[in-house]
Structure 1
Amino acid sequence: MDEIYRNLVRLNEEWAEAGLARQVRDPESKYDGGIIHAETGVPSPNHLNTPAVMASWAGAFCNPDSRRYRDPLLLDAFEAAAGFMVNRQHADGTVSLGSTNYNSPPDTAFVVGGLSQVYRLLGTDGWREAEAAAQKVKLFLERTIPALLTGGAHTPNHRWVITAALAQLYEIFSLPELLDRAREWLAEGLDITEDGEWTERSNGIYNAVSNISLYHTARVMNRPELLDYVRRNLRMMIYLVHPDGDVVTDYSGRQDLGQTFDLSNYFLVCRLMAAHDRDPLMASLSDKAASYLSSYREGVNNHPMVGLLLFPSGLDGMGREPLPDTYRKAFNLGHPVREHLRLLEETGHHGKIQHSSMHYAFGFPVVRIREKDTSITMMAQAPSFFALRHGQARLLGVKLSSSFPPGVVPLEELRVEEDRYTFRTVMEKGYSGPIPAEILAGLPAREGASPWYLLPHQHRPVTHLQKHALGVEAVPVTGGWQLRVFSDEREDVFTQLTLVLGQEGTVEGDGVEEFAANRYFLKKGSVTYAAGPDRLEISGGVFDHRLGELRNDAWPPGCKYLHFNLLTPFDHTIELRLL
């Protein structure tokens, strides 16, 4: 029994115990058997709540290495929870996420992806006393089939979650139409770049969701080519980890943007892929992820204990290739972003999609630089274009805001030339002329008011179209980095460069003014940001205007903000020294 497995057995027992403390046991309650959600206080059948606890219980009482092996107390709790799942299942076979997504096929698929494994695990143990509970789980699964054969998705990753659920239902019920539906989803093609980035650019959450889903789809449907997409992303993730183990979330297209996530939800898929490929580097990444399992917060579809019990993936005897801690890597430089955006007009949806997002940032370049305890991220088409961690000192982002058009400026172009990284963007803003008479003549006649929203604005000619260019040049220098920001010759455009700093640090300097809580102008000179033993000296203060914020600007919550106020035209350099 290896150390990682022993630790996981212990952790799973702790998760099982914690679940018992939150279970509702009241026959008069509609929530009987459910697990109280820590945030809402309401039991939920979603994949992060009751089913996830059920997986921990099964992972304990089905495991001969666990102290709770064949524990009747856990089995009783499990059976009550299975009853809750059946009772809270909607008539159409779905469940609701709870926070949103009601009668949701994709959220049902998340649950199915895990409970199908739990059901199979119960069957492998041969404990007769668990048969009644297993049948309740099977009933729940069977009732989901109509919804998953007909239901749709919201997001790119939902397609692969549903596909994995259909495949794993096929393992139990052997209905060919389940695989037919899975093939319909797979026929859309995989939404990943050559360098391994998924559409949602979500290193904290949805990468791992897509990866584990495609692993099971490939396994059941005998589609080994699907594993190549998993490999690509995991190979990319090797370079998207900060020295403290946090994954890079600085440019995510989902809710993990700028939030703190570790590698724990990558543990299972890394281990499975390491065993499948006999890959010593992936084994090292799996070991690294295992060290964060105590903070595991993934759902039943990616449960580490159930996954190891059902899909043995021993790595004993396999060597380990050390994970790199010094590198410079650029991703997606060759991805045809411009060509894809050009083709957008030909798709016919005109950038409108119901219940989801277009994710236009997919495939834009990302640069990662690691020098031992210093970690740097640069990214195009993101709210922030530069982030740096130096030990405990965290520069969480650097962003540009402008009054042309008002708001945060996503820098669309990133060029890499040796040690020089250049961002550029050209913004446009024009005015709309009157709707042509021939278009108005074809509209239905209206009496009284002419509502603005009923006018065919798409036919207005553009007048006085204006353009404005901004750029940034990032260059490493001895002991730190220089960021040069520059504009075209247009005059008097209010611009603000903002450094987003970790809340835990302190800001001190002669040229700094705190004009609101945790918000500072660096009017001149330099300032020191310190966190623990680590410091950043930030120089190049400028105060060309007095505005504390520009229209339509936004800042991530819970940080400190250091502002440099610029007025076009400008060519200004700030320096970051690592102390």
Structure 2
Amino acid sequence: MNRREFVNKSVVLCCAAPIVNISGIIPTRVEKMPPWLLELIKNNDKGITHLRTLQVKDAKSPDFGGVMDGFDILNPHNTAAVIQWGSCSLSSPSSQFYQSAELLNDMNLAALYLVKTQHSDGTIDLLSTNFHSTPDTGFIVKRLVMAYVLIEKSKTKGQENLLSNLKTFLLRAGDALSVGGIHTPNHRWVVSAALAKLYTLWPDPKYAARAEQWLGEHIDLDSDGQFNEKSTYIYSALSDRLLITIAKGFNKPALLDAVRRNLDMTMYYVHPNGEIVTDASGRQDKALIGTLENYYYPYRYLALLDANGSYSAMCALIEQTAGPKIGGFLDYFLADPSLWANLPPAKSLPVAYVKSFPNSELVRIRRNQWDSTLIAKNPVWLTFMKGNAVLQGVRFASSFFGKGQFQADTITKTERGWELTQKLDGPYFQPYPVDKISSDGDWEKMPKTNRPQSEVQILETKILIHEAKEGIEIEITTSGTERVPVAWEFVFRPGGVLNGASKIENTKDSWLLKEGNGTYTLGENTITFGPGAALHKNISLRGSLPAMEAPTVYITGFTPFRHVITLS
């Protein structure tokens, strides 16, 4: 489905669906589903069909009803997905599995497997890392409560057994969520959101009391509008969804202010091709290529709640760049028909700006179809994108005492642009103080911190960055110790074509830009970079990071090094 079709379908007015549904209660009258939602249901049918092929159907097997992952490991998450995805199909009149007795049976087998493998304390395991895990139980519970509501709504003949088994699992899990601990900041909101969902069905006071304990720690949002983990692809969007769930379930609309602040910030973390900036993340999505589908529900929910045209525009952008992927949140859309309503008229999104995010040590520059990100505390200190042509990392290293990989502590604003600096020292050490020498001659008992230093070498690197015509100008200058080999590294995303650089022999995808400009082209987009210089071919300097698995162009030299290049 192309962008125009998706956008046109997404603005179909759905009968009398209310614009705001803060309680999350499904209206008794089923409204007509808009075409974009019907398309997601069709895709969900394909997903549940495949997932059911991974379910153990041998009644004699101890794993009967469980679902395997791609490594053939039975796990509660895939098993719960049969219920989650199945409930979407079971309750949707347009689905090929609407009120399907066969699907209902498979979902019940999955529920029985979950009950059987649930620990006595109510928790489940995340077999890749966490065991007896309250947070991972919360992840499942939040979605299974929505599944419970959708199954009930479906009025499928014989659904009572499934609902009973599902209730058993959920109430046991509720006991765990009411007392269990967490690992990471977002886990507090995972647990609280799961408790909020349980509370809407079974309003046990202990659910609200435990959520209040976690909420009492306050929301981990900095002045930039970013959550503690700075995980823009995964956990920031997750926290947005969780806080909406908590706000609805426990009637705490003030929590939505944190969501708004994060969504406002995220509008400045968008690359021209619709990807999201992930370079400052503190989690597993750091520098990952990711689109914005995880934010679609929060943007749509608050676009409707606040009549916010900027959020509508973000929804349109996500539909254009990641449309099918929002199907991962189909249960959210089916459980709340208020989301089927017309979005308010879209406003223009920011596409030309310079914006600093001090808490993330990051600066964003965007000029319509090109953008650049400057990052401190990171060996990749600059990225540059022009449409779909991506320079995914710029690095600099020297072979200075095995510790010459450049990484700046801060980004400093200058009159013309920004400055990143690094100062390194390389000392030599004198004989150990006589009165402290270890009698057994053990080197480890004579730490270097106690030895006088001499012949201390210093290498200071300064990088100046400022905007140039249609791009960025970067100047690197070193001072201090001379004749130190250096290598300036430009890492491009695989898939494009390099011109102007020379392949380095005996390497997979490493190139030298000896002189003049080079180009990297992907489709209709071209990045021009240079001029080059190549005084040596040593690109694996001692102490530098290993080469990335991507086409990489090097400019090389020796200290004192001064070189200016332009990216455009």
Please tell me the TM-score bracket, short chain as reference.
Answer: 0.7 to 0.9
2:68 match: secondary structure: coil
CA spacing shift, 1:450–1:531, aligned 2, 3 Å: same
Please, which moves more after superposition, 72-81 or 314-323? 314-323
Counterpart residue number, 2:245: 216
Counterpart residue number, 2:19: none
Residue from 103, 108, 120 that aligns with 1:79:
108
* Contact 2:364/2:371 (<8 A) preserved: no
1:536-558 superposed Cα distances (whole Å, 9 cap, x missing partner): 23223233444221334335753
Query: Taking every aligned residue pair, what percent have the same amino acid on both sides?
Result: 29
Q: Distance in 1 between matches of 2:547 and 2:201?
A: 45
* Contact 1:240/1:248 (<8 A) preserved: yes
Residue from 161, 175, 184 that aligns with 2:204:
175
Counterpart residue number, 1:474: 465
CA positional deviation for 1:290: 3.7
Counterpart residue number, 1:42: 73
2:338 match: secondary structure: coil
Q: Distance in 2 between matches of 1:294 and 1:531?
A: 22
Q: Distance in 2 between matches of 1:176 and 1:322?
A: 43
Counterpart residue number, 1:156: 185
CA positional deviation for 1:324: 2.4
Q: Distance in 2 between matches of 1:511 and 1:309?
A: 55
- 1:379 paired with 2:411, answer no
- 1:397 paired with 2:393, answer yes
Q: Distance in 2 between matches of 1:312 and 1:186?
A: 28
The residue type equivalent to 1:409 in the other structure is F
CA spacing shift, 1:95–1:435, aligned 2, 3 Å: farther
Residue from 531, 556, 562 that aligns with 2:553:
562
* Contact 1:366/1:380 (<8 A) preserved: no
Please, which moves more after superposition, 204-213 or 218-227? 218-227
- 1:281 paired with 2:310, answer yes
* Contact 2:99/2:154 (<8 A) preserved: no
Residue from 477, 500, 520 that aligns with 1:509:
500
The residue type equivalent to 1:366 in the other structure is V
Q: Distance in 2 between matches of 1:243 and 1:115?
A: 36
The residue type equivalent to 2:373 in the other structure is T
Counterpart residue number, 2:26: none
Residues 133-282 of structure 1 aligned to structure 2 (within 5 Å): 133-282=162-311
1:245-287 superposed Cα distances (whole Å, 9 cap, x missing partner): 2222233222222322222222222222222222122122223
The residue type equivalent to 1:201 in the other structure is K
CA positional deviation for 1:471: 2.3
* Contact 2:196/2:249 (<8 A) preserved: yes
Residues 496-575 of structure 1 aligned to structure 2 (within 5 Å): 496-509=487-500, 513-554=504-545, 557-575=548-566
Q: Normalized against structure 1, the TM-score is what? A: 0.83
2:103 match: secondary structure: helix
Counterpart residue number, 2:418: 421
Counterpart residue number, 1:20: 52
1:191 match: secondary structure: coil
* Contact 2:540/2:546 (<8 A) preserved: no
The residue type equivalent to 1:102 in the other structure is F
The residue type equivalent to 2:196 in the other structure is A
Residue from 480, 486, 502 that aligns with 2:477:
486
1:549 match: secondary structure: coil
Residue from 149, 160, 181 that aligns with 1:131:
160
CA spacing shift, 1:87–1:293, aligned 2, 3 Å: farther
The residue type equivalent to 1:150 in the other structure is V
2:50 match: secondary structure: helix
1:111 match: secondary structure: helix
CA positional deviation for 1:238: 1.7
Q: Distance in 2 between matches of 1:294 and 1:41?
A: 30
1:413 match: secondary structure: coil
Residue from 345, 367, 373 that aligns with 1:320:
345
CA spacing shift, 1:478–1:42, aligned 2, 3 Å: same
Q: Distance in 2 between matches of 1:4 and 1:399?
A: 43
* Contact 1:512/1:523 (<8 A) preserved: no
Q: Distance in 2 between matches of 1:437 and 1:315?
A: 80
Aligned residue pair count: 534
1:415-464 superposed Cα distances (whole Å, 9 cap, x missing partner): 345762322334466689999999x99xxxx9989794xx7979868956
CA spacing shift, 1:458–1:406, aligned 2, 3 Å: closer
CA positional deviation for 1:533: 3.1
Please, which moves more after superposition, 539-548 or 94-103? 539-548
* Structure 1 unaligned blocks of 5 or more: 336-362
CA positional deviation for 1:212: 0.9
Counterpart residue number, 2:23: none
1:43-73 superposed Cα distances (whole Å, 9 cap, x missing partner): 3212xx3323321110111223434321212
Q: Normalized against structure 2, the TM-score is what? A: 0.84
* Contact 2:376/2:407 (<8 A) preserved: yes
Counterpart residue number, 2:43: 11
CA spacing shift, 1:52–1:271, aligned 2, 3 Å: farther
CA positional deviation for 1:396: 0.8
* Contact 1:271/1:313 (<8 A) preserved: no
CA positional deviation for 1:318: 3.8
